[in-house]
Amino acid sequence: MKYVSTRGSAPSLDFAGVTLAGLASDGGLYVPAQWPQFTLEEIAAMRGLPYAELAARVMQPFVGDCLTPERLRELTAKAYGRFAHAAVTPLTQLDERQWLLELFHGPTLAFKDVALQLLGLLFEEFLARDGGTLTIVGATSGDTGSAAIDAVAGLDRVEIFMLHPKGRVSDVQRRQMTTVRAPNVHNIAIDGSFDDAQAMVKRIFADKDVTDKHRIGAVNSINWARLMAQVVYYFAAALQLGGPERKPAFSVPTGNFGDVFAGHVAAQMGLPIERLLVATNVNDILHRALSAGDYSTGTVTPTAAPSMDIQVSSNFERLLFDVGGRDGAAMAEQMRAFEKARAMRLTNAQREGAAALFTSMRADEDDMARAMRWASEECTEIVDPHTAIGLHAARHAELAGDTPVVTLATAHPAKFPDAVERATGNRPALPTRVGDLFAREEAYIELPGTYEAVRDHIVEHAA
Ligand SMILES: Cc1ncc(COP(=O)(O)O)c(C=O)c1O
Ligand SMILES: N[C@@H](CCOP(=O)(O)O)C(=O)O
């Protein structure tokens, strides 16, 4: 399997290459040169497989000959062996039509663990082969940071610098990052938003002063391997609900467009999916883009779903490339114009291509609180604010009457106890597996929100 950049001019790489590269050298994102396909018979034959086996089966075409099938199975068994639920991503029924896909049974209580537990192992595997090291620079609005740190803490060949926006993540999220004491983990709180942090990460990949000395790697969903692992749970859920004969819709709380793009990938591989609902909070650039073709940034409004307080959605570029004709030169031009103007119009081909599978919806803070209350009062389920935004879209989407709708439950409610308590009166307790989070000492440094301050710190402290 070969991977190409959305901006057309970076070298094409194999799976090990894209996993270690993170971002393409032309600033684009890597995607498979073509989508692997499963027949309906092949998909039906996956029914009943344990999650780790299913993961190896779905991911093998993307991995190609970079890992043998046996080795891939060993890695998925190890990655998903750390989850607190035997099904890894269990489905819970809410009513006759609505389902929750619980993605928060990993070590750090969010869907990011599903991909990052595997990505840590892939880094180890590929770095041991080439004898190199990797300096990871990541940006987080709360969940990627802790999941990535958990996955790489203590690894010999990897060092991680994780940027989070100061004061804009929950206390639980911050502590899950800053209380991990390992010599290869560096936490940085910056003055600014997640978008500022994400822009710095992308800039560092293009900064020769840094890349001449350090191989920079990515744990954000700009890294293809993150998305690949997230494709698996769409298969898992659809198969449990009668797929491939029955087509579910998925409602996905969306920020950086990684999770819902993984649903698009599952559909391209042949999994029958009725619709993908892109659920945004009031930071609704994706809703405006998908409903009106207007992809223009504004200022970020802090909400009770902080992990989705994002304007510039990295993976939207992957979708625009894929549905807009896969023209790297045109995509590079469109993104150059966007980076300058902070706004762009989608082309007709991009709008029509996206409309074939995607519908978008926006939830404000009241919609979100109402969805939390509905889940609590009508279904006795406590959901987190991000999941509630997905549930709002799931309950209001116009779909054929018998379509099962699966909302991706992207975080454990205990990561956001204040917002959950405000909406429902229930204060969710942290699962015991996260241990004495509030008793542990924190370590992080604060930096101004300038690229130079962050770059100089990384250069000075990278091993
Ligand atoms: C809890 C939670 N829900 C939803 C999202 C949005 O997912 P994505 O960025 O893949 O669109 C995030 C952050 O990525 C998150 O942490
Ligand atoms: N919501 C994320 C933001 C980063 O997104 P990613 O999926 O690209 O890593 C977070 O919680 O950090």
Q: What is the pLDDT of residue 419?
A: 97
Hey, which of 111, 315, 384 would you mutate to test ligand 1's pocket, going by the most ligand atoms within 8 Å of its Cβ? 111
The torsion angles phi and psi of 32, rounded to 5 degrees, stand at: -60, 145
Q: Could you tell me the sign of the dihedral formed by the alpha carbons of 235, 285, 320, 355, in that order?
A: positive
**Local structure of 270: helix, strand or coil:** coil
pLDDT tens, 84-112?
Answer: 999 999 999 999 999 999 999 999 999 99
Residue with tokens 């698009």: 264
Hey, which of 230, 259, 407 would you mutate to test ligand 1's pocket, going by the most ligand atoms within 8 Å of its Cβ? 259
State mean pLDDT over 159-165.
98
**Confidence check: pLDDT of 262 > 90:** yes
| Centre of ligand 2 from the C-alpha of residue 141, in Å | 6
In percent, the amount of the chain with pLDDT more than 90 equals: 98
Binned at pLDDT 50, 70 and 90, residue 381 comes out as very high
Q: How far is CA 303 from the centre of its chain?
A: 19
Gap between the Cα atoms of 423 and 419, Å rounded:
6
Active-site annotation holds for 78: no
pLDDT tens, 272-292?
Answer: 999 999 999 999 999 999 999
State mean pLDDT over 102-123.
98
Cis peptide before 431 (omega within 30 of 0): no
Query: Which of 435, 360, 450 is CA-nearest to residue 398?
Result: 360
The identity of residue 263, as a single letter, is G
Ligand minimally distant from the alpha carbon of residue 262 = 1
For the chain, the average pLDDT equals: 97
Residue with tokens 């229930």: 426
Q: Could you tell me the sign of the dihedral formed by the alpha carbons of 185, 189, 194, 195, in that order?
A: negative
Gap between the Cα atoms of 320 and 323, Å rounded:
6
Residue 460's Cβ-count burial label (10 Å; 0-12, 13-18, 19+) is exposed
Angle between helix 51-63 and helix 69-80 axes, rounded to 10 deg: 130
In percent, the amount of the chain with pLDDT more than 70 equals: 100
| Centre of ligand 1 from the C-alpha of residue 431, in Å | 21
State mean pLDDT over 41-65.
98
**What's the CA dihedral at 220, 223, 226, 228 to 10 degrees?**
160
* Tokens linked to 244: 């491939």
**Confidence check: pLDDT of 463 > 90:** no
| Centre of ligand 1 from the C-alpha of residue 280, in Å | 10
* Tokens linked to 41: 């018979």
| Centre of ligand 2 from the C-alpha of residue 232, in Å | 18
What ipTM is given for this predicted complex?
Answer: 0.99
**In 326-364, alpha helices (H):** 328-341, 348-355
Gap between the Cα atoms of 320 and 209, Å rounded:
31
Q: What is the pLDDT of residue 435?
A: 83
What does pTM read for this prediction?
A: 0.98
Binned at pLDDT 50, 70 and 90, residue 159 comes out as very high
Three-state SS letters, 242-254: CCCCCCCEEEEEC
Query: 28: which residues sit within 8 A by CB, 6+ positions away?
Result: 5, 6, 7, 8, 9, 10, 317, 321, 328, 331, 332, 335
Question: Which listed residue (2, 78, 112, 202) is catalytic?
Answer: 112
Q: What angle do CA 440, 446, 448 make, to 5 degrees?
A: 165
State mean pLDDT over 219-223.
98
DSSP state of 274: S
Contact 203, 7 (CB under 8 A): no
Cβ atoms < 10 Å from Cβ of 237: 24
**Confidence check: pLDDT of 401 > 90:** no
State mean pLDDT over 188-211.
96
* Tokens linked to 265: 């990938």
Residue 72's Cβ-count burial label (10 Å; 0-12, 13-18, 19+) is buried
